């Protein structure tokens, strides 16, 4: 990375609309100085989208901002207050290790939160040190960018700087700060906080602000708060259906980690499922499997119930009537989820019309995959590339039968084989961020200061559906080749991506 000593303008264009809300909702803070910020990851294409100069971000002044050492003119950082149900238990939280630098207004007029994660203690730090370590910040960078590549709504990652300081965890680790970009950081937990500890008027102001920022089309309508709930229900149902379709497991679906915008947020112990097993859990602290793959839609509803509960006093002065309205609205979740998931699954199988038996066709395949511990991504990818002969399913009787039914089903729509392939390629990623690939990239970066593995991985993950381009973009890294889809057809049994 070309780093310059002089300061070059970055192009920040900050506003602080959240700071104009009642003070109960945030605290003014100064990010704590760090010893020697060093830029280790910069998302150049995102910088362009934000109207920021890459050279500016790479310059001494740009890096000082990304490290929290220099606050650009015209912005006043804050830490946001929020609460949340963590593994079912309600508690006060807030940005304990993050500073919201402000809202950057892009040249196209988009308002985006710029948050430094790992920037030091705040009034909400409780016992914590306010810091983050390099591995998890790079992990969030990689997975959030992979999600973006997959077309799944998510917060983005602009940069990671190391701080030059050691952070003590189970062992001493290098400190780092991630610059996170989000359409906002307003969470279900933000509303829970306002409902529990704020005045009704403060809750209303937060809701009005959120509507203006995320759902301007419902401003001034008859039941704006109920409409907001419905919008969030629909966005979350769509989001979680998309997670399920790519086998993504968030890992910590606490209410403070669920956005109102419908973006995926807070990549902790998340991962993509390898073998299809609905009970898969990645988080070691999730001993009861609360946030297992198969539970994600149900937990989505659980969290939205908490959101609805927080909104009750705004929805109707009569609590019973408010509850009834909220319940009716929450029932939209399963309709939207089912619709998005079914259509997504149909597309994964190259189906574009609807038949009553589609659900059982899909269910049968998933059951077979579960029985034979077939890899989720690779099975759909093999169906897409006619590569099933090289998978463990090829010689299984149930699968052969299913395959025939599938082919018959495909013939009952007006699509050529070529067109079916196009639909499938758009719906079945050829590349996902496999845990061992992510770990490899992190180890090289953290242990050896070698970011080339991560760069190759990010490059591959930016075009997960580009079956034909995979070889060109990824085979240039000698020690960590991500094998091409063409080779994959031959080497199908090996876990390649």
Contacts with ligand AMP, residue ranges (CB under 6 A)? 93-97, 125, 128-131, 257, 266, 268
User: Which of the choices Mg ion, ligand AMP, none does residue 187 contact, using the CB cut-off of 5 to 8 A by kind?
Assistant: none
Find the helix or strand (DSSP H, E) in which 32 lies.
Answer: none
> Residue written as tokens 């090829």?
394
> What three-state secondary structure class fits 190?
helix
Q: Is the CB of 266 or the CB of 286 nearer to Mg ion?
A: 266
Min separation Cβ 126 and ligand AMP, Å:
6
Q: Which residues within the stretch 263-302 sit at the binding site for Mg ion (CB under 5 A)?
A: 266
How many alpha carbons lie under 13 Å from residue 341 in its C-beta half-sphere? 21
- Which of 207-215, 254-262, 369-377, 452-460 is the region at the interface with Mg ion (rule: CB under 5 A)? 254-262
Min separation Cβ 257 and ligand AMP, Å:
5
Min separation Cβ 150 and Mg ion, Å:
21
The CA distance from 274 to 74, in Å, is 47
The CA distance from 10 to 19, in Å, is 23
- Asked if 84 and 187 touch (Cβ cutoff 8 Å), the reply is yes
Q: Which residues of 43-74 are buried (b: 16+ CB within 10 A; e: fewer)?
A: beebbebbbbbbbbbbbebbbbbbbbbbbbee
Q: How many residues bind Mg ion (CB under 5 A)?
A: 2
- Asked if 272 and 303 touch (Cβ cutoff 8 Å), the reply is no
Q: Is the CB of 252 or the CB of 393 nearer to ligand AMP?
A: 252
The CA distance from 471 to 475, in Å, is 6
3-state helix, strand, coil in the chain (%, to 5): 50, 15, 35
The CA distance from 129 to 120, in Å, is 7
Q: Estimate the crossing angle of helix 224-246 against helix 296-315, to 10 degrees.
A: 170
155 binds Mg ion (CB under 5 A): no
Min separation Cβ 35 and ligand AMP, Å:
18
Name the catalytic one among 95, 129, 208, 256: 256
Q: Is the CB of 268 or the CB of 481 nearer to ligand AMP?
A: 268
User: Which of the choices ligand AMP, Mg ion, none does residue 128 contact, using the CB cut-off of 5 to 8 A by kind?
Assistant: ligand AMP
Q: Is the CB of 14 or the CB of 90 nearer to Mg ion?
A: 90
> What three-state secondary structure class fits 472?
helix
User: Which of the choices ligand AMP, Mg ion, none does residue 194 contact, using the CB cut-off of 5 to 8 A by kind?
Assistant: none
Min separation Cβ 299 and ligand AMP, Å:
15
Min separation Cβ 371 and ligand AMP, Å:
35
Name which of 92, 73, 75 is nearest 24 in CA terms: 92
The CA distance from 66 to 158, in Å, is 9
Token code pair at residue 481: 């080749």
A 10 A CB-CB count for 344 gives 17
Among 119, 179, 257, 259, contact with Mg ion (rule: CB under 5 A): 257
Q: Is the CB of 96 or the CB of 481 nearer to ligand AMP?
A: 96
Min separation Cβ 268 and ligand AMP, Å:
6
Token code pair at residue 390: 């090289």
> What three-state secondary structure class fits 86?
strand
User: Which of the choices Mg ion, ligand AMP, none does residue 409 contact, using the CB cut-off of 5 to 8 A by kind?
Assistant: none
- Which of 51-59, 128-136, 256-264, 305-313 is the region at the interface with Mg ion (rule: CB under 5 A)? 256-264
User: Which of the choices Mg ion, ligand AMP, none does residue 180 contact, using the CB cut-off of 5 to 8 A by kind?
Assistant: none
395 is catalytic: no
**Number of continuous H segments (helices) and E segments (strands) in the chain:** 18, 13
- Which of 249-257, 321-329, 369-377, 441-449 is the region at the interface with Mg ion (rule: CB under 5 A)? 249-257
Min separation Cβ 59 and Mg ion, Å:
31
- Which of 73-81, 236-244, 260-268, 396-404 is the region at the interface with Mg ion (rule: CB under 5 A)? 260-268
User: Which of the choices Mg ion, ligand AMP, none does residue 97 contact, using the CB cut-off of 5 to 8 A by kind?
Assistant: ligand AMP
Q: Is the CB of 185 or the CB of 381 nearer to ligand AMP?
A: 185
Q: Is the CB of 117 or the CB of 348 nearer to Mg ion?
A: 117
Q: Is the CB of 57 or the CB of 446 nearer to ligand AMP?
A: 446
The CA distance from 394 to 403, in Å, is 9
User: Which of the choices ligand AMP, Mg ion, none does residue 359 contact, using the CB cut-off of 5 to 8 A by kind?
Assistant: none
Of all residues in the shown chain, the one whose CB is closest to Mg ion is: 266
Min separation Cβ 266 and Mg ion, Å:
4
Token code pair at residue 438: 């992510």
Measuring CA to CA, how many Å separate 421 from each of 29, 100, 447, 496?
A: 53, 44, 42, 21
Token code pair at residue 395: 């010689």
- Which of 161-169, 210-218, 258-266, 312-320 is the region at the interface with Mg ion (rule: CB under 5 A)? 258-266
Q: What is the 8-class DSSP label of residue 356?
A: T
Q: Enumerate the active-site residues.
A: 256
Binding-site ranges for Mg ion (CB under 5 A): 257, 266
């Amino acid at each position: 990375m070309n780093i310059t000593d002089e300061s070059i303008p970055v192009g920040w264009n900050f506003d602080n609309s959240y700071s104009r809300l009642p003070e109960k909702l945030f605290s003014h803070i100064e990010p704590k100085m760090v010893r020697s910020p060093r830029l280790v990851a910069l998302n150049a294409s995102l910088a362009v989208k934000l109207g920021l100069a890459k050279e500016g971000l790479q310059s001494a002044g740009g890096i000082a901002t990304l490290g929290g050492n220099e606050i650009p003119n015209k912005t006043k950082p804050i830490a946001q207050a929020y609460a949340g149900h963590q593994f079912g238990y309600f508690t006060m939280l807030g940005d304990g290790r993050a500073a919201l630098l402000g809202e950057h207004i892009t040249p196209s007029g988009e308002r985006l939160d710029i948050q430094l994660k790992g920037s030091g203690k705040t009034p909400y730090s409780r016992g914590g040190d306010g810091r983050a370590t390099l591995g998890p910040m790079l992990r969030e960078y990689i997975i959030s960018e992979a999600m973006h590549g997959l077309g799944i709504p998510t917060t983005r990652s602009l940069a990671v700087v190391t701080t030059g300081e050691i952070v003590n965890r189970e062992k001493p680790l290098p400190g780092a700060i991630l610059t996170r970009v989000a359409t906002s950081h307003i969470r279900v937990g933000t509303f829970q906080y306002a409902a529990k500890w704020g005045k009704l008027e403060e809750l209303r102001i937060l809701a009005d602000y959120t509507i203006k920022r995320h759902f301007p089309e419902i401003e001034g309508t008859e039941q704006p708060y109920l409409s907001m709930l419905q919008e969030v229900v629909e966005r979350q149902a769509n989001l979680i259906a998309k997670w399920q379709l790519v086998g993504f497991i968030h890992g910590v679906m606490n209410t403070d980690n669920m956005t109102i915008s419908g973006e995926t947020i807070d990549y902790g112990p998340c991962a993509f499922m390898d073998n299809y097993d609905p009970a898969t859990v990645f988080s070691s602290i999730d001993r009861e499997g609360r946030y297992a793959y198969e539970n994600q839609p149900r937990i989505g509803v659980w969290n939205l119930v908490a959101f609805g509960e927080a909104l009750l006093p705004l929805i109707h002065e009569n609590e019973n009537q408010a509850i009834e309205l909220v319940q009716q609205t929450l029932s939209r979740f399963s309709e939207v989820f089912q619709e998005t998931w079914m259509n997504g699954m149909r597309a994964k199988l190259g189906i574009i019309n609807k038949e009553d038996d589609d659900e059982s066709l899909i269910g049968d395949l998933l059951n077979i995959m579960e029985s034979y511990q077939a890899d989720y991504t690779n099975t759909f990818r093999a169906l897409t590339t006619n590569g099933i002969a090289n998978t463990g399913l090829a010689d299984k009787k149930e699968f052969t039968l299913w395959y025939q039914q599938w082919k018959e089903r495909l013939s009952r729509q007006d699509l050529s084989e070529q067109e079916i392939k196009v639909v499938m390629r758009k719906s079945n990623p050829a590349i996902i961020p496999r845990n061992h690939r992510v770990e490899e990239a992190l180890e090289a970066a953290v242990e050896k200061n070698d970011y080339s593995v991560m760069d190759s991985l990010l490059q591959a993950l930016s075009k997960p559906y580009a079956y034909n381009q995979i070889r060109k973009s990824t085979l240039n890294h000698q020690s960590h080749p991500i094998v091409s889809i063409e080779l994959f057809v031959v080497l199908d049994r090996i876990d390649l991506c």
